[in-house]
Amino acid sequence: MMVNVSAAMFLLLGCNHLLAMELHDHILEKQGSQVKKRLSLQSTAEIQSCLVSSGDVGCGMFQCFNNNSCEIQGLHHICLTLLHNAGRYNSQGKSYVKDALRCVALGLRQRFSCVSRRCSAVKEMVFSLQRECYSTHNLCLAVQDHLDTMGNLVQFQLMFPAGPYVELMNFLLKCGDKIRSWVGQRLRGQCEQHWGALCSTFTNICPLGQSDAPGLPTSPAPSIPRPVTPTDPLQQPTRENASLQELIKGNQRRKPVRNRAATNDYSDD
């Protein structure tokens, strides 16, 4: 009896020790994940100082977000790509692009100091600025009129990890059929260069736009249920029912006149 009690106590102590170790590891893991989900104090101070000292024109202010602990990448590349081909834009296109970039830059300077250090909050601030400024300053029109010079703007490998570049692609995909087709074709081609046939599989399952190839057959749209009518082919009698009806009609023709009322009952069916 004493042996069993001792064994039980030993087992209980061992379980308690194991649970304590697991709890300690869980706390450390949680603390580590919390650190990764926030901008470090050093990154926050560096970004704030960079935003204040950068000029309003050019891409310097976007460079402030390079190599931060929240991995918010892509703003600087977007700015450089848009301005690199500025010499080929018409006057209206230049105005659209410069105004959109300046809007984002000034918004970053004004809003960064007011936002939480949580990575999710910082990212949402950046993404909302992109959507607001791109839409307000007609970036869709600038891209639509200069597709031949905007090729470098669509880069499949820059979409990982998801960030400002993905937000830009999502914005462009809503700019109309012409731009959506252009973006979709470039992303599909670059994806196939990296992942091969896997991208073609995704394309067949989730096409980026059926308007890209109007001549190709597409899956029919789901049919809406329609009311059943007496002439509906689905309501035609089966072979067994048709034979039964023929048999009934034959019996009706052979019945004497005194049973005419019964015959009329069948004919009404």
| pLDDT for res 206 | 58
Contact 69, 36 (CB under 8 A): yes
Residue 186 lies in a domain: yes
| Nearest residue to 142 via CA among 107, 105, 77, 90 | 90
Residue 12 lies in a domain: no
Report helix angle 177-195 to 164-172, nearest 10: 130
Q: Which two tokens stand for residue 197?
A: 């046939």
Residue 28 lies in a domain: no
Structural domain count of the chain: 1
| Domain region containing 73 | 41-208
Count other C-beta atoms under 10 Å from residue 196's C-beta.
10
* Digit-coded pLDDT (tens) for 18-65: 445 445 444 544 444 444 589 999 989 999 999 999 988 889 999 999
Residue 162 lies in a domain: yes
- Calpha distance 102→86 (Å, rounded): 14
pTM: 0.63
Count other C-beta atoms under 10 Å from residue 23's C-beta.
10
| pLDDT for res 250 | 56
* Digit-coded pLDDT (tens) for 215-255: 434 444 444 444 444 444 444 444 544 554 555 555 555 54
Could you tell me the CA-to-CA distances from 217 to 204, 214, 221, 223 in Å, in that order? Answer: 13, 8, 12, 17
Q: Which two tokens stand for residue 84?
A: 């690199």
- Calpha distance 135→172 (Å, rounded): 10
Higher per-residue confidence, 221 vs 256? 256
> What average pLDDT does the structure give for the chain?
75
Q: Which residue has the tokens 């400002």?
A: 164
| Nearest residue to 78 via CA among 132, 145, 155, 146 | 155
Residue 80 lies in a domain: yes
For the cut 50, the answer to whether the pLDDT of residue 257 exceeds it is: no
Q: Which residue has the tokens 């570049």?
A: 165
Residue-wise burial string across 49-82, b where 16 or more C-beta atoms lie within 10 A, e elsewhere: ebbeebeeebbbbbebbeebbbebbbbbbbbebb
* Digit-coded pLDDT (tens) for 82-101: 998 888 899 999 999 999 99
Residue 25 lies in a domain: no
| Nearest residue to 69 via CA among 115, 122, 17, 27 | 122
The values of phi and psi at residue 38, to 5°, are -130, 150
H-type helices in the chain, by residue range?
2-36, 41-53, 75-84, 91-112, 119-136, 139-144, 164-172, 177-195, 197-205, 239-254, 260-267
* Number of residues that make up the chain: 269
Question: Which residues have a Cβ under 8 Å from the Cβ of 33 and sit 6 or more positions away?
Answer: none
Residue 220 lies in a domain: no
Q: Which residue has the tokens 């599989």?
A: 201
